[in-house]
Amino acid sequence: MIKKSIIMNESLLLHNVSKKELQTLISETVTSILQKKESKEKAPQQEYISRNETAKILGVSLVTLNNWTKQKLLTAYRIKSIVRYKKAEVYQCLEKRK
C-alpha cells in the first residue's frame, strides 16, 4: 500500500513505496483502463435511420409513419433538429405487423 502521496499540479509524488507496490499500482490501473475500453467497444452501436428509410422499410407513407409515432407504435429520436428512428426498433415493429 502507498505510505504517503502528495498531489501537486497533476503530478503524484510517492514516498516510501516499494518497487513491487508501484508495479502493482501501475498494473491495476492499466488493466482497469483496458477493461473499460473493451467494454465500450463491445457495446452495440445503435444505428439510426431517416424517416424516409423507415417508411420504406415498413412500406408506409410518411403520414402513416407520423401517425404511428404519435400513437407510440414507434419511437422517434431527435438528433439536433433531425428526426431519426432506431433501425432495430423499426425491424421489431415490422415483425409485429406480420
Sequence spans of domains, the chain: 4-42, 48-97
How do residues 8-63 score in pLDDT, each as one tens digit? 455 666 677 788 888 888 888 888 888 887 776 665 678 999 999 999 999 999 99
pTM of the entire structure?
0.55
| CA separation for the pair 62, 56 (Å, rounded) | 9
| CA separation for the pair 90, 98 (Å, rounded) | 13
The amino acid at residue 97 is R
